[in-house]
Amino acid sequence: MTEEVKVKNREVVIPGETLAEGMGYLPSFGTYREGEKILASRLGLVNIEGKVIKLVPLSGKYLPKRGDTIICMVTEILMSGWRVETNSAYSAVLNMKDATSEFIPKGANLTKYFDIGDYLVAKISNVTSQKLVDITLKGPGLRKLYGGRILNVSPPKVPRIIGKQGSMVSLIKQHTNCKIMVGQNGIVWIQGEDSDMELLAVKAIKKIEQEAHMPGLTDNMQKFLTENGGAPQ
Amino acid sequence: MSYDKRKSGRDFDEPRQMDAKAGVVKRAVGSAWFKIGKTEAIAAVYGPRELFPRFLKNPEKGVLRVNYSMMPFSSGSDRVRPGPNRRSKEISSIATKALQPVVDLSDCPNSVVDVFIEMKQADGGTRCAGICAASIALADAGIPMRDMVGAIAVGRCQDKIIMDLDYYEDSHEDGTDIPVAMLHNSKEISLLQLDGNISVEQFQEAIKMAQGTMDKIFEVQKAALKGKFKPVKE
């Protein structure tokens, strides 16, 4: 059989669609081999790198992964820590010893540190095969969030919102003078001095989410921000 | 007696006009609308999310749960009373089994993927339209899937083998209704029901006819999913 790629690079494909024929190509994430063919196993954008074919997901819920920085909300106080909601199918546990360098006395009221409804920027320290998730607040930039507003975006779009080496998010930060934190789980926290600028940042992020699969996004965003009253600080 | 001409004027092997759209329910993780003739289905997917009641949890892989329901105004006659009934429970169960072979939920143990199928308008072949919509909605929700599932009803009306029965043919006194769901690539059958009676030869012919329509359904599903990602116009 001849070796042949059936789709273009960066094309949207659906589950069960044939991506390539022949044994010359290797199936990677989001694809599988059946006989001589490579088929898509989810909805996504095709990415062909040399002989490796993989899919970049376009939709879906967040799945906790070790090392991810996420924004989560405290939902429950436990015996020795806090349970947080992670915007995925699984809740996570923040253990007391991973929470703060402060000394927490025995029998202390844990709501003094983090109360139910508080938002945290945390790092996932461990995920078991049964998807029991541990998070930690020890690390640079990990903390409790005060004020600001919370925004939900589609988790597969997060890399586009952050951009290469954080270029996209720093572009918005510069133009709107807002503090922005983007969690891998699709929760974004925005805080600015000026509520109009906060709303502009929200609009900008919504726009990136809609146009995430399109080329030339950074230039478009630069134009959008300056046209709508944002100015580089 | 001979069934010389179909009431709808279609050829005996001609399905009704199909149309579909993905992402119609913004609140859901994935959703779809599927229309075949006058039959219209909406499917919405939520999850993977935490499963309640907890005893249903499977620590090996996620659970797929499909719920089928008809809207009160969907049928041509009396108001359909809302809520589960014997028929909708059966269809929920067979729709789950029709979609189960393609979805791979091994990455999300202890969780559930909920699929809600609502029939907006019913004119025969609702379970098939529901399964087609659910398949698009699951793909739209980014659930790992081996393949797409298509479904169509075939059957017999008097002496003729017919494709895609509408309500008139479905409720014909000398008619047989066979809903079939198939995986697109392997053409494996994941749903097969039969209401009525039919000879073995005619049954085989009917199944072959259903198989021939699967590619058409797949194209409609493909167009729906790809249509969601057309370049945004300024």
Predicted local confidence at residue B234, as pLDDT? 42
Q: Global pTM?
A: 0.93
For chain A, the structural domain boundaries read 4-57, 69-145, 149-227
Cα(first)–Cα(last) distance of chain A, in Å? Answer: 59
Distance CA A44, CA A137 (A): 33
Q: Hey, is A89 helix, strand or coil?
A: coil
pLDDT digits (tens, 9 = 90+) for A17-46: 999 998 889 999 999 999 999 999 999 999
Query: Per-residue confidence at B231, pLDDT binned at 50, 70, 90?
Result: low
Nearest one of A182, A109, A177 to A145, comparing CA atoms: A182
Encode pLDDT of A136-159 as tens digits. Answer: 999 999 999 999 999 999 999 999
* Of A165-169, A213-217, B9-13, minimum mean pLDDT range: A213-217
Domain spanning A149-227: CATH 3.30.70.3190: no
Q: By C-alpha distance, which of B107, B123, B132 is closest to B43?
A: B132
Q: Does domain A4-57 have CATH number 2.40.50.100?
A: yes
Angle CA B7–B81–B121, to nearest 5: 35
- Answer whether A208's CB lies under 8 Å from A224's CB: no
Q: What is the largest CA-CA distance in chain A?
A: 70
pLDDT at A213: 75
A43 neighbourhood in chain B, CB within 8 Å? 139-140, 142, 225
Q: Do the chains contact at B232 and A211, CB–CB below 8 Å? A: yes
- Kindly report the CATH class assigned to B18-226: alpha beta
Fold of A69-145: OB fold (Dihydrolipoamide Acetyltransferase, E2P) (2.40.50)
Residue B233 has pLDDT above 80, yes or no: no
Name the pairing type of β-strands A52-57 and A26-27: parallel
Note whether A69-145 and A149-227 share their fold.
no
Picking from B30, B111, B146, the nearest residue to A59 by CB comes out as B30
* End-to-end Cα spacing for chain B: 60
Select the residue from B63, B186, B187, B232 to test the A interface by mutation, using most A Cβ atoms within 10 A.
B232
What ranges do the domains of chain B cover?
18-226
Distance from CA of B59 to the nearest CA of A (A): 7
Judged by CB atoms closer than 8 Å, whether chains meet at B226 and A32 is answered as: no
Cβ contact A60–B29 (<8 Å)? yes
Give the pLDDT confidence of B194-218 residue by residue, as tens digits: 999 999 999 999 999 999 999 999 9
Span B72-81, average pLDDT = 91
Report residue A78 as tokens. 């436990």
B interface with A, Cβ–Cβ < 8 A, is 29-30, 47-50, 59, 62, 102, 104, 107-112, 139-148, 183-185, 218, 221-222, 225-226, 229, 231-232
User: What's the ipTM?
Assistant: 0.90
Q: What is the pLDDT of residues A168-212, one digit of tens each?
A: 999 999 999 999 999 999 999 999 988 999 999 999 999 999 888
- Pair B88, B70: CB distance under 8 Å: yes
